[in-house]
Amino acid sequence: MRKMLTTTIPAASPVQAPSASAAGPRAQPEAIVIGSGFGGLAAAVRLGARGYRVTVLEKLDAPGGRAYVHRQDGFTFDAGPTVITAPFLFEELWALCGRRMADDVDLRPVAPFYRIRFDDGTTFDYSGDEQAMRAEVARLAPDDVRGYENFLKASEAIYKVGFEQLGHVPFDHWSDMARALPQLVKLEGYRTVYSLASKHVRDERLRVVLTFQSLLVGGNPFATTSVYCLIAFLERRWGVHFAMGGTGSLVRGLVSLIEGQGGCVRCQQPVAEITVHDGRATGVRLADGRTLRADVVVSNADSAWTYRHLIAPEHRRRWTNRRIEKARYSMSLFVWYFGTRRQYPEVAHHTIALGPRYRPLLTDIFERKHLAEDFSLYLHRPTATDPSLAPQGCDAFYVLSPVPHLQSGTDWQRQAEPYRLAIQQRLQATLLPDLERQIVTSRMLTPQDFQDRLSSFHGAAFGLEPVLMQSAWFRPHNRSEDIDRLYLVGAGTHPGAGLPGVLSSARILDTVVPHADSLALRHAN
């Protein structure tokens, strides 16, 4: 498979899809997917199931996008998403191909979902166990047990509307937003995540416990619409899972589905331009100048990057350069991957290590765009569930710190190592004793890498910030407003970031992309 994934397109120019006249009256329509993140791979599977011959073009040397896999010194590091919820969205993709995901991917439940460590050393185990959660809340904030239960009821109500009813529905027209608005108002979608949590519970620590998840999808809980409170019930309903072998095993499984449909994933094929004729996407021009034609084009690249860098300005009426520049973008991330020669069995699979500040730190990140000296961290220890990801007796980790995107002006070439060292010292003092002497391998990912390597506008790790006026209809649409036969999937479009969000964005294609049979008939006529 590795050889196939890195096969390059033959050096003929231009490269064109077969026309109806060349391949017969029912030539199979062609689809090109730009980017092989989870949104792009899911889109490719769904398009293949709808009769398209699909080519996925990936800039990097292996598929996955933000879910790229790094292997070094015997350790396996998942570069990006590690919290897997709503596994049925993956299972649907296998079912579309007449296969069972369980035959290819071994998903294991993680318990607790997260261990939250407060700055004073107090911990809170966040899980899907109703009785255990009630006990944890009672231990932390005994006066807030009923309020917590009311918050969870509100989360369930939001989930049923925001996820089940609207999560896979395209918001093509303002009327779609108008129809949804009364329900969203009733559910207090005008509040922020933090505001809704504060309505129900008083203890400041519990408010943090109920709101930090929005950071995992790029949102500031003090600014993000409370619709994202649905995450609490989503996790309760479906659990938090980990794929044995790492998240990359899901990527490999999806690639095998695409190949089984007759499609292909071509790596080291950066796209320079989406070609447009008479207002319709006609294919792509690669960075080396070659051209691929297609009946439909789907971009899994960052939505702002897609419009700003892949489509000429004369083809854009809504997503102009000015509008893209003025939009608000999510924070970025500093990620440090490291392996240790010893194990830390007392450290949970997922740990949220909070710093001394919560709201002021988020103000620094999102509003002031200032790289603060303190930080709150997400520590991932996958070897807690799958020891095979490290050599025997060792542990694999990554630690993630939310930081401002590149509009902060931070010089990450100079700042990366001092920042990494500060994180190392913090972890050594709190969770990982003797860490400095135990590290055997290390690598970093900075906001500059998000821009240069992953083509994220301003290096924002999650695309557009999920505030109310950049959600649903206000977000770049799944069916491009500017260009016919161009579609967008991934974190930067509706419904938003996170694995359930990007998989749901691909699910929307079933509604907005014409079936291949209808295009084949048009070719024939």
Length of the chain, please?
525
| Two structure tokens written together for 87 | 């596994």
Task: Tell me the pairing of strands 114-117 and 350-353.
Answer: parallel
Give residue 480's pLDDT. Answer: 97
DSSP state of 17: P
Question: Are the C-beta atoms of residues 333 and 462 closer than 8 Å to each other?
Answer: no
Residue 525, number of CB atoms within 10 A of its CB: 7
> What tens digit of pLDDT does each residue of 221-259 get?
999 999 999 999 999 999 999 999 999 999 999 999 999
- Residue 519's pLDDT is 77
What is the model's pLDDT at position 284?
A: 98
Number of neighbouring beta carbons within 10 Å of residue 469: 11
Per-residue pLDDT tens over the stretch 446-473: 999 999 999 999 999 999 999 888 888 8
Q: What is the pLDDT of residue 524?
A: 58
Give every residue of the chain whose pLDDT is below 70, as ranges. Answer: 1-26, 520-525
Q: Are 40 and 34 in contact (CB under 8 A)?
A: yes
Q: Which residues contact 293 (CB under 8 A, 6 or more apart)?
A: 15, 16, 17, 30, 275, 282, 283
Amino acid 84 reads I
User: How do residues 74-131 score in pLDDT, each as one tens digit?
Assistant: 999 999 899 999 999 999 999 999 999 999 999 999 999 999 999 999 999 999 999 9
Burial track 506-520 (b if 16+ CB lie within 10 A, e otherwise) = bbbbeeebeebeebb
Cβ count near 360 (within 10 Å): 12
Cα–Cα distances (Å) from 385 to 16, 83, 380, 395, in that order, read 46, 13, 11, 11
In the Cβ-directed half-sphere of 272, how many Cα atoms lie within 13 Å? Answer: 8
Contact 294, 284 (CB under 8 A): yes
Complete edge-to-edge strand list for the sheet that includes strand 296-299 = 264-266, 53-57, 30-34, 296-299, 486-488
